[in-house]
Amino acid sequence: MKKELLEFLEEEISISKYKIITLDRGSKKTYKNRLLAIERDFLKFPFESLGIDDIDAFRKAVLMFKTDRELFDKVYNNNLDSKAPEAFIISTLNLNKRINFFKNLYKYLLENKIRKVNLIEESSLGGDRADGAELTGIDSIRENEGALISKERARIQILIYCFARVIHKELSSIEAEIGLLKDGENKDIRVLKSRIDGLFDFGINNIFKHYNSGITEVPLLINGTMGHNDYVPCIYPLVNLTDSIDGNLSIDRVLGEDRNFFSKTGVRINKKFIKRGFSIVLPIPRVGNETMDLLYLDLFSSSGTRLNSIMTKSFYNIKVKEEYSKAIATVPIWEFPEKMNNLYLNREILSLLGLDSMPLIGSLDFLDKNIYMAVNNNNGSIKLNKKDSKILVAATRSETAHINQAHFWIKLLIKEIKDDYESKFHIESIHDNSDNRKIKYQEFLRNK
pLDDT at site 262: 94
17 and 114 part of one domain: no
Last residue of a domain, one of 35, 62, 79: 79
pLDDT at site 201: 94
68 and 103 part of one domain: no
pLDDT one digit per residue (tens) for the chain, 448 residues: 677 888 888 888 888 888 888 877 766 666 677 788 788 888 878 777 777 878 888 888 888 888 887 778 777 755 554 444 445 555 666 788 899 999 999 999 999 999 875 555 554 333 444 344 455 555 655 666 778 888 999 999 999 999 999 999 999 999 888 877 765 555 677 788 889 999 999 999 999 999 999 999 999 999 988 888 999 999 999 999 999 888 899 999 999 989 999 999 999 999 999 999 999 999 888 765 567 899 999 999 999 999 999 999 999 999 888 888 999 999 999 999 888 878 899 889 999 998 877 654 556 788 889 889 999 998 889 999 999 999 999 999 899 999 999 999 999 999 999 999 988 887 755 444 444 433 444 444 444 4
Last residue of a domain, one of 79, 111, 146: 79
C-alpha span between 442 and 440 (Å, rounded): 5
40 and 141 part of one domain: no
pLDDT at site 433: 41
C-alpha span between 197 and 95 (Å, rounded): 10
220 and 93 part of one domain: yes
162 and 225 part of one domain: yes
Q: pTM value?
A: 0.73
297 and 335 part of one domain: yes
Number of domains, the chain? 3
pLDDT at site 13: 85
186 and 142 part of one domain: yes
Last residue of a domain, one of 53, 79, 105: 79
28 and 147 part of one domain: no
C-alpha span between 152 and 118 (Å, rounded): 10
C-alpha span between 222 and 43 (Å, rounded): 41
Q: Which residues of 220-246 are buried (b: 16+ CB within 10 A; e: fewer)?
A: ebbeeeebbbebbeebeebbbbbeeee
pLDDT at site 273: 94
Instruction: For residue 285, say if its preceding peptide bond is cis, omega within 30 degrees of 0.
Output: no
248 and 212 part of one domain: no
| Alpha helix ranges (H) inside 180-263 | 186-197, 199-205, 211-222, 241-244
C-alpha span between 407 and 20 (Å, rounded): 30
Nearest to 171 by CA among 95, 229, 92, 113: 95
343 and 425 part of one domain: no
C-alpha span between 275 and 331 (Å, rounded): 7
pLDDT at site 70: 74
387 and 248 part of one domain: yes
Name the residue range of residue 335's domain.
Answer: 241-393
pLDDT at site 362: 56
pLDDT at site 448: 42
Nearest to 371 by CA among 381, 380, 379, 361: 361
17 and 125 part of one domain: no
